[in-house]
Structure formats: C-alpha cells, structure tokens
Structure 1
C-alpha cells in the first residue's frame, strides 16, 4: 500500500489547485458578508423611501439589487465550476488545474465571467460617482477633477470588453493571441480605484485639517474619520487588488485565491459606501453646508424664557442671562466655519 495518497502532480500544480479551492472558500465567505450588507442597505433605503424622496432612494435600491443578483450568479457559477473540476471531471488529464485552464470558456464559466465583469464596471462607476459628489462645491471646477478618472473609467470598460471576448475562447492565464488583456484590464481598474482612493482621502483630510484647526478634532468626525475615508474611497478593494495583481505578475499560484474572491470584495466595498449613505453618514452634496455657515450673529437669551427645566436651575439663574456668540472662520474653498460660544453673565 502506498504511504501517501498525494496525487502524482508537481508541487506547483498542487499549490495552484489549493489556491483555487481556497479562493472558492474565501469568495463564499465574502458573499455571506455581501448578503448581510445587502439586506441592511435594502432595509434602510426602503424604510426611508416616501412619495417625496423615492427618486433619491429608488436608484440606489435598484443599483444594489442588480449588483447583488450579479454577485449571486457569479458565486453560483464559481461553485458549479469548482464542483465540475474536483468531482464530476476529476479524472481530467492533468487534474483540476488543467481543467480550469482548458475549460475556462465553457458556458457555465462564461456566465460567471460576464457577471463578474458587469459587477466590477458598476462598482467602479460607483466610486467615480462618490468622487464627483465629494468634490462638488470645490473651488476647482468639477470637470477638471473628474476628467482624468472618467477617462480611466472609460478605458477600463473598453479593456474589460476586450478581456471578456478573449476569455470566451481561452484562459486568462494563457493567451493564444499577441495581447493578454487580463493584466491591462485589471491594472487599469486597479489604477482607477487607487487614484480615486487618493483624491477622495486628500479631500476629506483637507476638510478634517481645516475643521479641527478651528473647532477641534471631534468636529465633523462622522464625515472625516479614518474609517469614513477607508469606506468612502473603497480602499478595501484597492488593497485587495494590489495583492492580487502583485501575485499574478509574479506568476504565483496563490493569485487564484484573490482573483476568485475579487468580485465579492469589490461588492463589499460598494455596499459599505451605500450603507453609509443610507445611514446619512456618507458625504453628500449638502454635507459642506451642514458644517459651514457664513452668517455671524449674537443673541442674548434670558433664563426666564425657558419654560422647562428644574426649579433649582431656574432659581439659581433667575437674574442671569446667557449670551450665545457665533464666531465664523474662513477655512478655504470659499467655505466658512462657525463656532458657538455660550456664556452666562450675571
């Protein structure tokens, strides 16, 4: 009897098969997070939707529903393709790794590839939209800020179409044509997300510095905290993409773990943005006006004007007055910041 049940395959082949199988598991875990986030986002948006604001919430509801359906299709096809390679067709010459490379263009896998591509395009479009929202009202014209990211987004869409046409006939790891569109497409998509991550974080850091310099670091933290910057800029997906692309260019078999779960991670980053928007914590067109003002005023308020409160407090301040002073500071980009001082005067 043999002392080992290890198949007669090279260590590199076995490592590639391990990476593929583990990628399916990681993708399933990420999909579970997608399900939870989708339900939370849908509940919040649907609960807030009324006859007057449905035009604001309905597009987001449709958006997250379409991407969730696509992510479900991707997960189902990934599970089916993995089952074919490791169970039904496990005697394929060369094993599951050879099956993946040679059968990449079968219909079930093409459905998953198309679903994944559309999901990535929709997710990239969302971060471009968030960048536009965050920079609206900036002193620099919006089109100057958005022209470069928009061009990269269009290039990503074009390369994605070329990639999907290519993988319908061959594996993304081995191309029979002169150009393998896998690396160019994923590189452009990654570049788009990194650039948008940087410019969104710079915008939020600028606001954070200007606000904290006047009122302290706790003011406006729901919009400018580190967590807010990570979520708003989809930094999670950017970090995951860098890890995948680095391993892919090094021809490391573990890159298969990342490529299979890349779509679900991107959806997690997208749903986190939508969840913040649904909670009212996401940066919107009105955020700057919420924390800025341009009208200084001073208003005295006497304790006798209050009709509620304890008797002791009313007695203690019966002959006192409270002066509320509004101080304004210019913090750049044509914005003004207001600080409220409350002082009791005998």
Structure 2
C-alpha cells in the first residue's frame, strides 16, 4: 500500500476530511446554539446532547489532525527519506500518533453505533428489535480491541498483514450492524408512509416520513460510506484509504445531523408510530386519548354525514398530529427523551 495511487488517494482523502470537518463544525455550532437557547428548561437530555456532540467533535478533530500531520511528515518534512514516501509509510505506519488516530476513529464508531441502535429502539418502541444489533455491537467492541492491538504493534500496517485481517473482521461486523439497523429504521418509517400522505397532508407527513427524515434517522450516508470502504478494503484496493476517510467523517457527521434533528423536535420519539397510527385509525366516536379529540367529537356531532363529515375528521387528525409534533419538541426539553 505505497504506490502512487495510494498516495493520491491518501491526499484526496485528507481534502475530504477538511471539507466534512467544516460541515461538522457548522452542525455542532448550530446544535449548541439551539441547546443554549433551551437552557431555561435544563434536562438530562440536554446535557447528553452537549456531551455527545462535544465528544464527537473532539474525536474527529484528533483523527483529522493525525491524518494531516502524517501526510505532512511523509510528503514534506521527510521528502528525502530513503526509498521515498512508500518506504516512509511502511516504516512509520504504526507511529504512536497514528495509533491514537485509529483509536479515536474506533471510539467514534462505537459511540455512533450505540446512538443508531438506540434510535432504532425509539422508532420501533420494542426492545426485542435491538437484541441482534446489541449482540453485533458487543462483537464489534471485542474486535475493535483486537484491531487496535494489531494495528498498533511495532512495524505493523493497517492495510496489510495481521492488522488488515483483524481489521476486515472488525469493519465487516461494524458495517453489517450499520446496514441491519439502517434497514430496520427505513422499513419502520416506510411502513406508515404509504397511508400518511393521504390522511395527514404532505406538510405534516414530510416532517417525520419524508426523504430527509429517512436519510437522517437511518444515518444512511454513514452506512453507504461504510459499504464502499468495506468493499475496497476487502479487495485490498489502493483507494481504500479514500473511502476510509469518508467513512470516518460520516461516522461523526451523520450522528450530529440526527442530534440536531432531535433538538429541533423533528425526530421520531418513543411511541410516535403508535400515536400516529391511532390518529389514522379514527372512529365515529372521535379520537380518544389524542389532543383535539373533543373538538372532533363536538364537530361531528353537530355536522352531517358524508363528505363534510370526512373533511371534519381529516381536520381533526391534522390538528392531533400538530399537537403531537408540539409534544415532540417539548419532549426534548422537558421529558429528557431522545
């Protein structure tokens, strides 16, 4: 892993690191601003958002800095190294700060996977659905420790030998977990999307069931980048370092996008699927247990059957979902739920 294609891929990967690091800084800043504006209603969830976001930023900063410093050492500071840049890479691939950067990316991956599993539980509201992802998560944790040991050993190479073999097992398990959880979240959202537009209206439906919701809630860019890296890494391709850079950056950016959506009160929350289904499955007796039910009952009692009555029902449903949406925003600041 030291020829010209690898060197160019490393260089382009560092450029992508800088671009996506800027995106992460913007997302982090906006998230913190929104959280600070909610400080009059401090909750445990606010503290979690702050700590998680800050930890993400710190870890990705370490990774980006390490990759940039190693590139500078290889291409500029030691430009006359005997054997060229390839020889320098082979000699110092396991230097201590490279091991630190790998550790930062692994910890970041574990944090992001944990958040994604929890969001899967939130969307499904069923602990049984996360049993298999939980098992895969524990396997990922064990393999990550072995991978750090193998890649940090003297004269080892992340892309070759024993470190590459353990790395392939680790990333296959981790990215397999990403794919599984992403599919579960997308399937859950799409299961209600088929009927929501007709009853709720596009404005309300798109908040929780639109394309943006699917991409952000399922961390789709994170999963797709992982698949691209895993394929190239498994093939021992020279461009795998480029896909690794994109994958690690989305390990940070995708969770930050999700947290921002939660802070804005636009993310799915506990039992929202159940509440939305209850709103759709209205009956002639009204919408018991949902905001706006009494208004619906009063209106339909005074109204007549037919198209006018159906119109009143749909208005009541939309009002109920608006109330649920407002409740979602309050949940972030008063219930401590993400």
Q: Residue 174 in 1 paired to residue 135 in 2?
A: no
Which one has a larger percent helix, Structure 1 or Structure 2?
Answer: 2
Match of 1:62 in 2: 51
Q: Residue 210 in 1 paired to residue 200 in 2?
A: no
Contact 1:34 1:68 in 2 (8 A): yes
Aligned pairs for 1:71-150 within 5 A: 71-136=60-125, 142-150=126-134
- For 1:188 and 1:113, how far apart are their aligned partners in 2? 17
Contact 1:276 1:282 in 2 (8 A): yes
State the secondary structure of the residue aligned to 2:317.
strand
Using a 3 Å threshold, how does the CA distance of structure 1 residues 339 and 274 change in structure 2: closer, same or farther?
A: closer
Contact 1:215 1:339 in 2 (8 A): yes
State the secondary structure of the residue aligned to 2:3.
helix
State the secondary structure of the residue aligned to 2:65.
helix
List runs of 5+ in structure 1 lacking aligned partners: 1-9, 137-141, 302-321, 329-336, 341-346
Residue 42 of structure 1 deviates from its aligned partner by 1.2
Give the structure, 1 or 2, with the largest relative contact order (CA under 8 Å, sep 6 or more).
Answer: 2
Using a 3 Å threshold, how does the CA distance of structure 1 residues 98 and 260 change in structure 2: closer, same or farther?
A: farther
Residues 117-172 of structure 1: per-residue CA shift (max 9 Å, x gap): 11111111111111111111xxxxx2321101111111111111111111111112
Contact 1:299 1:324 in 2 (8 A): no
Residues 170-204 of structure 1: per-residue CA shift (max 9 Å, x gap): 11212247x82111111111111111110100000
Using a 3 Å threshold, how does the CA distance of structure 1 residues 176 and 119 change in structure 2: closer, same or farther?
A: closer
Residues 1-46 of structure 1: per-residue CA shift (max 9 Å, x gap): xxxxxxxxx9x81111111111111111111111111111111122
- For 2:236 and 2:299, how far apart are their aligned partners in 1? 72
Match of 2:317 in 1: 338
List runs of 5+ in structure 2 lacking aligned partners: 280-286, 301-307, 320-338
- Normalised by the length of structure 2, the TM-score is 0.80
Match of 2:231 in 1: 246
Match of 1:44 in 2: 34
Radius of gyration: which is bigger?
1
Residue 69 of structure 1 deviates from its aligned partner by 0.8
Which one has a larger percent strand, Structure 1 or Structure 2?
Answer: 1
Match of 1:237 in 2: 222
User: Which shifted more, 281-290 or 195-204?
Assistant: 281-290
Which of 1, 7, 21 is the matching residue for 1:31?
21
State the secondary structure of the residue aligned to 1:92.
coil
| Residue correspondences, number | 296
Using a 3 Å threshold, how does the CA distance of structure 1 residues 324 and 195 change in structure 2: closer, same or farther?
A: closer
Match of 1:298 in 2: 297
State the secondary structure of the residue aligned to 2:248.
helix
